[in-house]
Amino acid sequence: MTLEVIYVTRHGFRSNWVVKPSGEYSTSIPSPTGIASDPALASYGVIQSRELAAHLKTLNPPIQRFYSSPFYRCLQTINPAVEALSSTAPDPETQKIRGENGIGEWYGMARFEHPSPAEPKVLKSLFERYDEEYQPVIKPSVHGESIEELHDRAAYAMHRIIEQSDNEGVKAICICTHAATLIAIGRALTGRMPENIAEEDFRPFTCGVSTFVRKGTRENTGVVVKEWAGPETPIPAIPWRGGNGVGGGWELKVSGDCSFLSGGEERGWRFSGDESFSIDPEKSPELDAGSGLGVVIEGKKRPNGSLNPPRL
């Protein structure tokens, strides 16, 4: 059996955080991990995560593996879904969250050192289902990434995740990530890199779900990729552009579905084309780190939506 379907979602509404020109990150609400750039979900984001869990539990084919960015907001978003599926999933691997740095946040090319997520031991203490034994396939450079490097990093991570899934004989997996990385993942899977980097080709609304269905098979991928050599080393090349896609290529069947969310489409995002994350101290003493590299997009909200989370 080979992997057939990938469900990709973005974390829910999070608490805010900002960054100063010096590279100092801060937040008004302390993070559970003690890292200022690693905020928890806002209370509304927690509601979204429960609605997402109820939806993911209904998907067919059912999810057999969960991969998440190791940042707290993503783990907090996907944890209810893992809990919900664990009661009916006989495979113990379905009951775990694999923290994959390769699908973590993007911080642009700022000259200061970029944040890293908490260590697995810390995350395990916060999330019982966190898989402390899982080894990430790649880790972003703490010295920053260009937009191109983000896409190549996401492509490499997805290549390895697909490879793992094929070897484990699962049909469907779920990825929980961030807005910029979600767009990069979509482009890597479909093999389409737009001429205008700011094109709104994927829909990373909070807790929305995109569904990708495989075009090829394990046998016809035909790509041998070198292993990542370690921190601050080049990303192994994968020929995903030009319509190739990783893992034989994927077709986008559902884009950013938010029909199951009481608030509908909220806080979407797209690239602005800027990757410098530069802050002018004369204009602003600090910058919202969530919008410093992109443009926030408001989607179609539900005016009379209920904020009562569903029972799982």
Q: Cα torsion at 177, 26, 297, 105 (round to 10°)?
A: -20
CB 52 within 8 A of CB 161: no
Give the per-residue pLDDT at 161.
Answer: 98
Buried b (16+ CB within 10 A) or exposed e, 108-133: bbbebebbbbbebebbbeebeebbee
With 0.85 as the threshold, say if the pTM is over it. yes
Residues 211-232: tens digit of each pLDDT: 999 997 655 556 789 999 999 8
Angle between helix 179-190 and helix 147-168 axes, rounded to 10 deg: 70
Give the per-residue pLDDT at 279.
Answer: 59
Give the per-residue pLDDT at 21.
Answer: 67
The single-letter code of the amino acid at 125 is S
What would the CATH number be for the domain defined by 5-297? 3.40.50.1240
Tokens coding 68 = 């998440």
Q: Which residues touch 145 (CB under 8 Å, ≥6 apart)?
A: 106, 107, 108, 109, 153, 275
CB 44 within 8 A of CB 72: no
Of all residues in the chain, the percent with pLDDT exceeding 90 is 71
Average pLDDT of the residues in 132-152: 95
Cα angle 258, 261, 264; round to 5:
60
Give the per-residue pLDDT at 70.
Answer: 98
Q: Cα torsion at 21, 147, 33, 31 (round to 10°)?
A: 50
Give the per-residue pLDDT at 300.
Answer: 79
**Mean pLDDT score across all residues of the chain:** 90
Query: What pLDDT band is residue 301 in, cutting at 50, 70 and 90?
Result: confident
Residues 1-43: tens digit of each pLDDT: 689 999 999 999 998 877 776 777 777 788 999 998 899 999 9
